[in-house]
Chains A and B, each alone.
Chain A
């Protein structure tokens, strides 16, 4: 059973701070990793994908992958109240067409 674990939160950070969201996965054969943002009552929206160990930056977002530790994280710099949402981690194993999702971490950015 492939598992993707996330702390459900909520994670509360002040405006302007760095928010750090974490995700662990059980399948060592995993090859593709995704972060989705989901606002309340809306569908998930892709933020970033990462495939290799290390960091990948896109604007205020940085995804970090450590395959040896089976750990992927998302950093949000200069957090804004508009970043308040649930962040879903998804992991796809090699040879699989289907990503497995975690239950998501709720992020609250307060002014």
Chain B
């Protein structure tokens, strides 16, 4: 049973560039959430996708956008990268319904902006 998979695992971008991160949820899960974790901090919620729609959004600027595909996989896009966007980006999946209480994380994508 494959868990949550993310790609790429590490990447380096230059300020002002754009980046796309990808996530495949755990089998049986239809809800995908994205988190940003800076060094020494807890994960900060970016947004959640369910049924190909953004269901909830955290306190992140519009430079952060996403998409969910019919197979439940998801992408996170960040435009006009800033040095402060350097962080671990975590994708988490969960099943809908009561069991959707628990989220499971992928291994994350380390983004460095130089």
Interface positions of A (Cβ within 8 A of B): 4, 6, 8, 32, 34, 36, 42-46, 49, 51, 88, 92, 96-104
Q: Are B102 and A49 in contact (CB under 8 A)?
A: yes
Residues of B within 8 A of A97 (CB): 31, 48, 50, 55-56, 100
Residues of B within 8 A of A100 (CB): 45
Q: Which of A32, A43, A92, A98 is within 8 Å of B105, CB to CB?
A: A43
Given known pairs A43-B108, A97-B31, A98-B48, the reply for A49 and B42 (CB within 8 Å) is no
For residue B71, CB closer than 8 A to chain A, the reply is: no
Interface centre among A4, A88, A98 (most CB of B within 10 A): A98
Q: What 1/0 flags go to B94-111 for Cβ under 8 Å of A? A: 000000111111111000
Name the interface residues of B58-98: CB closer than 8 Å to any CB of A.
58, 88, 90
Residues of A within 8 A of B40 (CB): 8, 103
Q: Are A46 and B101 in contact (CB under 8 A)?
A: no
Residues of B within 8 A of A44 (CB): 43, 90, 105
